[in-house]
Amino acid sequence: MKRWSFHGGVELPGHKQKSTTRPVESAPLPKQLILPLSQHLGAPAEPVVNVGDKVQKGEMIAKPGGFVSAPVHASSSGIVTAIEELPVPHPSGLYAPCITIKTDGKDTWLNREQQTDYRQLEPALIRERIREAGIVGLGGAGFPAFIKLNPGKTVKTLILNGAECEPYITSDDMLMRERADEIVQGLLIMQRAVQALHCIIAIEDNKPQAAQAMQAALQQIGTVDTGIVIVPARYPAGGEKQLIKVVTGQEVPSGGLPIQVGVVCQNIATAAAIYRAVYRGEPLLSRYVTITGSAVAEPRNLEVLIGTPVRDLLDSCGTDFTHLQEVIMGGPMMGIALADHEVPLVKTGNCLLALKQGEIELHPTVVPCIRCGNCADVCPVNLLPQQLYWHARSRDFDKTQEYDLFDCIECGCCAYVCPSNIPLVHYYRFAKSEIRSQQEQKRKADIARERHEKREQRLAREKAERAARHARKKPGTDDETKKAAIQAALERARASKPGTPPDDV
Amino acid sequence: MFKKTISSPHIHSPSYSTQGMMFRVILALLPAVAVYAWLFGWGVIINLLLAVGVALSCEAAMLTVRDRPLLPTITDGSAILTALLLVFALPPLAPWWLTTIGVAFAIIVAKHLYGGLGFNPFNPAMIGYVVLLVSFPRELTLWSLPAQLSEHTLDFGSTLNYIFSGTLPAHLGIDALTSATPLDMMKTQLGLGHTTSGIIAAHPVFGFMGGKGWIWINLLLLAGGLWLIYRRIINWHIPATLLGSLFAISLLFFLLDPQHAPSPLFHLFSGAAILGAFFIATDPVTAATSNIGRLWYGAGIGILIYVIRSWGGFPDGVAFAVLLMNMAAPTIDYYTKPRVFGHGDRDA
């Protein structure tokens, strides 16, 4: 199948072999599960349990907080011990509301509704199942999966993203090797949901075993309109818009969605979760997680219950905590450095990367930008990162927008190659958040101004009305009318004197 | 526990550093420097050491005055590179004060008064050179003869003595040691009404494809430049369009009037065209930064070099051409923004 390419990108050392040597096993059942209410993009979920409630595995403990939202389920059976703010995986190290479950060790399931043939289900019902199962994009963004599966337009190509382009991460690789059939079934369910004309499974060329397994599964299940495309391992080939470009040659318009070019893109782990939700009635309770890095004695992939504390996972793979410098959730290019090891693993957590001290330079000496343009050469969006940096640095935010700041996907290629060690992405995040808060302030100011203007108008109108009323009353009080009224009254009195009182009294 | 949060990316390529880039550029210049010294004598080495010393002292002094960290900047190699490029532009027997003034002006005024590395709009080495060219034109034309043409050679001691005190051994006059450069000679003789073939035949400074001796320096500079492109220290765009446009415009005039316009090869291999293309115009701080912009920027320099050489007041035009295009770089950048992913044709 024909492939295209995207501008820039970098070839990164993979570090992927170490974590693929052992088969995937389930992580030990943790004593405690911490389930944040916001593990997805959109409104946080709302708790439907109380402290002290007994919950079973698979039971919904928080309902969607809006349309763009996802429910949260108990990943194992136990007792709700707290609903409170706890540290969560977030770049700022913020606390957020979580439901804590003390597991009972029995792992008892709630009754599961079995569904064997997805072909009997209407697309809308499939989406409802996926929504109820709390499935979000497992590749990292965490966008509720059912929304993408309701495109409202003809879907030419459904792309399954198995590129997994970040170094170290192998969870999708292992999932494809071990559960290819589930992924393919999940893909077919999604194809039915969006009525896609054909499907493409995109896999980077550094995962030949995964590609083989997927090919075998496709043959076994016997699909005709699905093909596997091997894409060159070049970061960020797994970025949604980059992958769509590579596979279809089309560019998703700036600020637009893939559906505008007739494409829906989902991650392969999402497909497997959809299979489990639709066939077996299992909500999203666990995922494959790569636990690797120089501080980990036994790098590997584990199937992890959502909500398992990161420390438990690091422990179970023999992590050297004394020489630990940094634990990153996600990959080294876009992952989040965890401020705390007690945070739970969330739905989007595909990897825990534990790095030894000295492996990454924490505060390298930053020297001035010499405008070498390496950053522009590697930018997959074809921006001019050095110009964005100048303008962000001088807080010239209009200029940053002129240079299309908001097209930046924060992939980190520019900072990776910057010879001056400038934390470029940091500057872009700063500029973006400043612009957003300025816009928010402007919006509020506009509302306030509008309100003020309306109030002024209202006051002016009321004043005018009062004046008008006043003016209308005035004719009723001048002398002539008074005289006329007196005159009329006298005449009425005169007329009524001789005879009977008038009818109108 | 408060822990400093670090934002992604968490890794950095080990193969990119400003220092590494500067020192590779210096490395690429060294073979040509060695041959330059071999052909033109001890003066090159003495001036080189002097220039590097002055550059580092000025850099250190300015960093101290500006209250900036000394170590990361003084070791980044940029001042050494400026000194090296300037020495290439100066006559091998340039007196010490000439070299000192040029380097000091380059580092103090052209670099640090504009904000230091990364903030200077003009190439410091070229500013230093141009200051000397307009202030001391006579000294800059006294170019020593390459060893193969000269009947007299100066040993280390007498060279040192000449550079620092201006006195030569009793039997020698400065005219015996120096002559005009090939470009200078060509310009003067053409101005006197001679033809190119006649000039080349009559004067021994001319050799195959340019000036005698110069060809080797230029070939080594070319090799060094190509190595830099291969190692991705510089991009191909600026050298390609600079040399391409210089070649094209000189070919045009050469074809129109071969007796009064020197050949394209003469233009490429005499003077500072190759040095300028690979080592001066590619200074990223002062050049255009987008790839399309770099194409225009290089082409502009190539054409300006030809214009200045042919009709300007100076024999070579690289320095002025580079400085003029430095001035144009921000505008070029503005009009050559690349098309961003997902955008239609760039509407300006």
User: What letter does residue B110 receive in the DSSP assignment?
Assistant: I
At residue A23 the predicted structure's pLDDT band, cuts being 50, 70 and 90, is: very high
Instruction: Report, as an integer, the average pLDDT of A269-279.
Output: 94
The nearest CA of chain B is from the CA of A330 a distance in Å of 10
Residue A251 and residue A314 in contact, taking contact as beta carbons nearer than 8 Å: no
In chain A, what residues touch B291 (CB-CB under 8 Å)?
373, 376-377
Chosen from A371, A403, A407, A422 to mutate, greatest number of chain B CBs within 10 A: A371
| Residues, chain A | 505
Residues A47 and A25 in one domain: yes
The pLDDT, as a whole number, for residue A498 is 56
Give the separation between CA A132 and CA A73, rounded to whole angstroms: 10
Shared-domain flag, residues A256 and A148: yes
Other CB atoms within 10 Å distance of the CB of residue A52: 8
Residue A483, in any domain of the structure: no
Predicted confidence at residue A39, as pLDDT, reads 92
Residue A276 clears pLDDT 70, i.e. is over it? yes
* Number of other residues whose CB lies within 10 A of the CB of residue B78: 30
The arithmetic mean of pLDDT across residues A304-308, rounded, is: 96
CATH code of residue A52: 3.40.50.11540
- Spatial contact of A271 and A193, defined as CB atoms under 8 Å apart: no
* Residues belonging to chain B: 348
Q: Which of the four pLDDT bands, split at 50, 70 and 90, describes residue A200?
A: very high
At residue A505, does pLDDT exceed 60? no
Check residue B318 and give its pLDDT: 92
**Which residues on A lie below 8 Å from B6 (Cβ)?**
326, 337, 362
| Res. B296: pLDDT tops 90 | yes
Comparing C-alpha atoms, which of A58, A34, A190 is closest to residue A132? A58
pLDDT at B228: 95
Tell whether A504 is covered by a domain. Answer: no
Which residue range is the domain that position A166 belongs to? 17-105+113-304
Cβ distance of A334 and B8 shorter than 8 Å = yes
The predicted pLDDT at position A475 comes to 58
Q: Which tens digit of pLDDT belongs to each residue from A348-373?
A: 999 999 998 877 766 678 888 999 99
Do A328 and A432 belong together in one domain? no
Name the residue among B300, B5, B153 with its Cα closest to residue A429.
B5
Q: Residue B236 has which token pair?
A: 């191909």
* Model pLDDT, residue B139: 83
- Cα of first residue to Cα of last residue in chain B, in angstroms, is 50
Residue A300 lies in a domain: yes
Residues in chain B within 8 Å Cβ distance of A404: 340, 343
Q: What is d(CA B100, CA B107) in angstroms, rounded to the nearest whole number?
A: 11
Considering the domain architecture, whether residues A67 and A51 belong to the same structural domain is answered as yes
* Residue A394 DSSP code: T
pLDDT of B345 over the 70 cut: no
For range B251-279, the mean pLDDT: 90
**pLDDT bracket for residue B348 (50, 70, 90):** very low
What distance in Å separates the CA atoms of residue A451 and residue A468, rounded to the nearest whole number?
Answer: 25
Highest mean pLDDT: which range of A113-117, A193-197, A362-366, A489-493: A193-197
Distance, in angstroms, between B20 CA and closest chain A CA? 8
Flag whether A478 is in a domain: no
**Residues A204-237 pLDDT 10s:** 999 999 999 999 999 988 777 889 999 999 999 9
Q: Which residue of B has its CA nearest to A339?
A: B3
User: What value does the mean pLDDT take over residues B65-89?
Assistant: 91
Structure tokens at B318: 């690289």
Contacts of B21 in chain A (CB under 8 A): 370, 372, 419
Task: Give φ, ψ of A330 to 5 degrees.
Answer: 100, -160
Closest Cβ–Cβ partner in B10, B291, B337 for A360: B10
Stretch B119-146: mean pLDDT? 88
- Residue-level pLDDT at A291: 95
Which residues on B lie below 8 Å from A245 (Cβ)? 341
Q: Is the pLDDT of residue A499 over 70?
A: no
Are residues A179 and A325 both part of a single domain?
no
pLDDT over 70 percentage in chain B: 91
Q: Which long-range contacts (CB under 8 A, 24 or more apart) does A240-243 make?
A: A240/A161, A240/A265, A241/A409, A241/B341, A241/B342, A242/A6, A242/A9, A242/A380, A243/A159, A243/A161, A243/A163, A243/A202
In angstroms, the CA B322 to CA B301 distance is: 6
* A91, A367, A386 ranked by CB distance to B18: nearest: A367
3-state secondary structure of A28: coil
Do residues A341 and A292 both lie within one domain? Answer: no
For residues A159 and A63, membership in a common domain is answered with yes
Q: Residue B8 and residue A403: Cβ atoms within 8 Å?
A: no
The answer to whether residue A30 sits within a structural domain is yes
- pLDDT tops 80 at residue B2: no
Least-confidence region, from A63-72, A87-96, B101-110: A87-96
Instruction: Please write the tens of the pLDDT for every residue from A234-251.
Output: 999 999 999 999 999 999
A12 located within any domain: no
Per-residue confidence (pLDDT) for residue A171, from 0 to 100: 95
Same domain, yes or no: A316 and A421: no
Do A315 and A437 fall within a single domain? no
What is the tens place of the pLDDT at every residue in A133-146? 999 999 878 899 99
SS3 readout for A294-347 = CCECCCEEEEEECCCEHHHHHHHCCECHHHEEEEEECCCCCCEECCCCCCECCC
pLDDT of residue B93: 86
CB contact under 8 A, B16 and A369: no
Together in a domain, A92 and A74: yes
The helix (H) or strand (E) run that includes residue A73 is strand A72-73
Looking at residue B192, its pLDDT comes to: 79
C-alpha to C-alpha distance for B182 and B211, rounded to whole angstroms: 5
Query: Are A167 and A228 within one domain?
Result: yes
Extract the tokens encoding A315: 């422990």
Is residue A36 a part of any domain in this protein? yes
What interface predicted TM-score (ipTM) does this complex get? Answer: 0.85
Q: Which of A171-185, A282-296, B166-180, B230-244 has the lowest mean pLDDT?
A: B166-180
pLDDT of amino acid B196: 79
Q: Do B340 and A254 make contact, defined as CB atoms within 8 angstroms? A: yes
Cα first-last separation, chain A: 101
Nearest residue in A to B8, CA atom: A334
CB contact under 8 A, B10 and A376: no
Please state, in angstroms and rounded to a whole number, the distance separating the CA atoms of residues A123 and A192.
6
pLDDT beyond 80 at A435: yes
Overall number of domains in chain A:
3
Cβ–Cβ gap B333/A367 under 8 Å: no
Q: How many CB atoms lie within 10 A of CB A297?
A: 8
Query: Does the pLDDT of residue B272 top 50, yes or no?
Result: yes
Q: A477 falls in which pLDDT band (50, 70, 90)? A: low
Residue A112 confidence (pLDDT) above 90: no
> How much is the pLDDT for B210?
61
**Domain stops at, among A286, A304, A322:** A304
Answer yes or no: is pLDDT of B1 > 50. Answer: no
Cβ(A230)–Cβ(A159) under 8 Å?
A: no
Q: Which residue of B has its CA nearest to A365?
A: B72
Q: What is the largest CA-CA distance in chain A?
A: 124
Q: B17 contacts in A (CB within 8 Å)?
A: 419, 421
Whether the per-residue pLDDT at B4 is higher than 60: the answer is: no
Under 8 Å CB-to-CB from B172, ≥6 apart: which residues? B152, B154
Q: Which residue of A has its CA nearest to B289?
A: A373
pLDDT over threshold 90, residue A258: yes
Query: In terms of domains, do A226 and A264 share one?
Result: yes
Q: What is the pLDDT of residue B169?
A: 75
Q: Are B224 and B32 in contact (CB under 8 A)?
A: yes
Query: What's the confidence (pLDDT) of residue B346?
Result: 45
How does pLDDT run across A369-408, given as a tens digit for each residue? 999 999 999 999 999 999 999 999 999 999 999 999 999 9
Please tell me the predicted confidence (pLDDT) of residue A3.
86
Task: Cis check for the bond before B9: say yes or no (omega within 30 of 0).
Answer: yes
Residue A1 lies in a domain: no
Q: Measuring CA to CA, how many Å separate B299 from each of A343, B278, B329, B334? A: 57, 13, 12, 17
Helices (H), B194-342: 196-202, 214-230, 237-256, 264-269, 273-275, 291-311, 318-335
Average pLDDT, chain B: 87
